[in-house]
Amino acid sequence: MIDNFLFDGPMTFMIICELMIITAFSLTYKSKRNKNVWLKILMAAALIIVVKLLDYYFVDFNTASTALQAPICFIATFTYACLALKIPVKEALYCTIWSYIITEIANQIVMPITDPLVGGSSGIIYYLKYIFTFSVGIFATFYLVKVFLIKKLQTNEHYHVGRQKILLSVLVACLYMLLSNYQFIFWLLGFEPESRSNMITFFRLIVGLACALFLYMQNSIEKRQMAEQELDMIQQLWYRQQDQYKLSQENIDLINRKCHDLKYQMAALRKLDNGDEINAQLREMEDYAMIYDSVVKTKNPVLDTVLTEKSLYCEAHQINMTRMVDGTKLDFVGKVDLYTMFGNALDNAIESVMKQRDIEKRVIQVAVFHEKNLLLIRVRNYCEEKIKFISGLPASTKQDKGYHGFGLKSIQYTAEKYGGGIVCQAIDNYFVLQILLPIPEKIK
């Protein structure tokens, strides 16, 4: 009874292996990793018992009902992924398909090794050999999937599964179920069940590997397309920033000239009449003209442009922006690249502090300095929101996430272009963006 229930056929190996692999896929969801562990274990044990009972009473090699084994394991694994592991339905179906294909490949390797290894054994030795080979096969498969495969399938710690991707994956799974069916193989290869030919094992192994390779290539192509679309979006933003920089520079230059001329005109006008009313009006006009004195001077014309532009915006919207900026070492950065980095960084900071109703909390701090061979750009702003980071970048809190988050990615792309990088942190109700750029030898 025990032999027939636990060790007769590959069903025990298949269901345990599939559940272990789907668990490995779920480890990417860090927030759900340690929740209800014992409940997951109990549900997995219950599913294993149910699957084995169905296998024991309904699956018979002699009646061609072995085709039921794969669907039974598949349904059990999908149920476990959705109910116990709380994986979203589309991603659960995609991960279950991967678990099924990988388990079938592992099964074609482990079972031919297990049968001769336990052959001739009896009693406790028989059970120990079976358990040992099953355990080694399952944990080796689990390890390979966790270490080598999962990272290749993820994008920003998620399995992005669209309609086309899930449709192709389901078709691959159905195709494998058809091609790996014993009765189909017997008809295709001309072998009878009694022949026990190794060609059956090789055929199923080759088909399984082909299906896994197809799914992997599909995922790689999709990730490449997503990366190309993202790069294209960043390049479009770069070109827009280029136009915006030219316009901002022209506007600020025009304002500077007009304000400079206006100050001299008012000084000349005051000499014509000393009346109190005229003096009061002239002082008011001088206050308006003080915008000329608020122009930021960092010894870098591009930095002057973008910081002046953002300073004027902050002043108009009651945002306190402080600056400690040394622009003398930034000449090695292209004009548009420099404008893009500071523009995006300050735009993000301004958007964040504008959410604060308390004006005292609308604080942005900008610092640019160099230490030895590194140039450090730091933009720090008040932020009370709890920020979730994905791949080192904050996740967008906006509903339409497909069109947001490119500001920081653009900064990261530009920094990497100069051999540097960025670091994002949330510390004591402040969001801190640090851009690190190595200073070229010529500039040193």
**Lowest-pLDDT range, 57-61, 91-95, 364-368, 389-393?**
57-61
Q: pLDDT digits over 315-345, tens only?
A: 778 889 898 888 888 888 887 788 888 888 9
Domain ranges of the chain: 2-230, 297-444
pLDDT at residue 186 tops 80: no
The pLDDT > 90 percentage for the chain reads 28
Answer whether 96's CB lies under 8 Å from 78's CB.
yes
Q: What is the pLDDT of residue 259?
A: 63
pLDDT: which is higher, 75 or 398: 75
Instruction: Tell me, yes or no, if the pTM score tops 0.75.
Output: no
What percentage of residues in the chain have a pLDDT greater than 70?
Answer: 72
Of 407 and 54, which is predicted with more confidence?
A: 54
The pLDDT value given to residue 105: 94
Confidence at residue 189, expressed as pLDDT on a 0 to 100 scale: 62
What value does the mean pLDDT of the chain take? 79
Rg (CA), the chain: 33
Please report how the helices 89-118 and 163-179 are oriented relative to each other, as an axis angle in degrees rounded to 10.
30
The pairs formed by 151-159 with CB atoms below 8 angstroms and a separation of 24 or more are 152/216, 152/219, 152/220, 153/98, 153/219, 154/28, 155/223, 155/226, 156/390, 156/391, 157/28, 157/30, 157/390, 157/391, 158/28, 158/91, 159/25, 159/28, 159/91, 159/94, 159/95
d(C-alpha 237, C-alpha 340), whole Å: 9
Match 């610092």 to its residue by tokens.
Answer: 367
Dist. CA 313–CA 306, nearest whole Å: 11
* Least confident stretch, 25-29, 113-117, 139-143, 154-158: 154-158
What is the homologous superfamily of the domain 297-444 according to CATH?
Histidine kinase-like ATPase, C-terminal domain (3.30.565.10)
Helix axes 198-272, 276-289, angle to 10 degrees: 160
Q: Which two tokens stand for residue 38?
A: 């014992």
Which are the contacts of 132, defined by CB distance < 8 A and separation ≥ 6? none
| Predicted pLDDT of residue 392 | 78
Q: What is the pLDDT of residue 399?
A: 46
Q: 249-308, pLDDT tens digit by residue? A: 665 665 666 666 666 666 665 665 556 656 665 665 555 555 544 556 778 877 887 888
Residue with tokens 């504008």: 354
Task: Identify the band that residue 38 occupies on the pLDDT scale cut at 50, 70 and 90.
Answer: confident
pLDDT at residue 65 greater than cutoff 60: no
pLDDT of residue 221: 86
Lowest-pLDDT range of 68-82, 134-148, 221-235: 221-235
Return the H-helix or E-strand segment holding 238: helix 198-272
Among 65-74, 281-290, 367-376, 408-417, the minimum mean pLDDT is found in 281-290
**Among the ranges given (68-82, 144-158, 172-186, 243-257), the one the predictor scored with the smallest mean pLDDT:** 243-257
Residue 444 per-residue DSSP state: -
**Residue 31 CB coordination number (10 Å):** 8
pLDDT at 34: 64
Say what the pLDDT of residue 295 is. 57
